[in-house]
A and B are shown apart, each in its own frame.
Chain A
């Protein structure tokens, strides 16, 4: 069982829908990450939050809107997505001490399909 919990596990939505992906961890980690993974490809970093502040945005389209309401929760709000956005969305967390070299802990992802 993973220590990073992502819900829902599967999501099917139309291009005009608004939905949210949720990620939760209780390891006391203060850095949280969103990745996108297309089939048979490696994960690609989308966003990084450090101490609840957005620290990295990898030029992700605005139809993806991240939110970190507290140190345990990370959301990804979705609106007006395109079929090419269908992918596995992975959340990860790690300790965020400067100079630390701690591993990232990944959830098992939300598999998103856009109709």
Chain B
């Protein structure tokens, strides 16, 4: 299975931007890059995904390197509610329309007030 590498932890101050890096050097041409986050005592929550182009949504932005071997999740203004473990995932479509998400180890983000 394709693997991702992330820093174990990062720290940010409230209201400041956060850049969460991810390396995925073994990505294949059809793998999508997904990000999920998991708050304490909750299941993972979808954040954003992309294939080749940079993506923006209401939660975050995703910047994908031209060779697709790395990506960066950008939280534009961190809040205390953004404190969570952020997972960078390579998503592969399986037959029948289901998919396989292989979670990396994740980055624990701490947001300081």
CB-defined contacts of A85 to chain B, threshold 8 Å: none
Task: Give Cα A101–Cα B32 distance, bound, in whole angstroms.
Answer: 8
CB-defined contacts of B49 to chain A, threshold 8 Å: 101, 103
B87 in contact with A31 (CB, 8 Å): no
Of all chain A residues, which has the CB nearest B45? A106
B98 in contact with A45 (CB, 8 Å): no
Among residues 23 to 77 in chain A, which have CB atoms less than 8 Å away from a CB atom of chain B? Answer: 30-31, 33, 41-45, 48-51, 53, 55-56
CB contact under 8 A between A96 and B46, given known A42-B105, A101-B91: no
A55 in contact with B45 (CB, 8 Å): no
B100 in contact with A56 (CB, 8 Å): yes
CB-defined contacts of A104 to chain B, threshold 8 Å: 36, 44, 46, 99, 101
A94 in contact with B43 (CB, 8 Å): no
> A-contacting residues of B (Cβ < 8 Å)?
32, 34, 36, 41-46, 49, 87, 91, 93-106
CB-defined contacts of B96 to chain A, threshold 8 Å: 31, 50-51, 53, 55, 96, 98
CB contact under 8 A between A55 and B98, given known A42-B87, A44-B103: yes
Q: What is the interface residue range for chain A against chain B?
A: 20 to 34
Task: Give Cα A41–Cα B104 distance, bound, in whole angstroms.
Answer: 9
Known A-B contacts: A4-B43, A48-B99. Give 12 more (CB < 8 A).
A41-B105, A50-B97, A51-B97, A92-B44, A98-B93, A98-B96, A101-B49, A101-B91, A106-B43, A106-B44, A106-B45, A108-B41
CB-defined contacts of B104 to chain A, threshold 8 Å: 42
Rounded to whole Å, the gap between the CB of B50 and the closest CB of chain A is: 10
Task: Give Cα A45–Cα B89 distance, bound, in whole angstroms.
Answer: 12
Rounded to whole Å, the gap between the CB of B97 and the closest CB of chain A is: 4
Q: Does A105 contact B (CB under 8 A)?
A: yes
Of all chain B residues, which has the CB nearest A98? B97
A42 in contact with B41 (CB, 8 Å): no
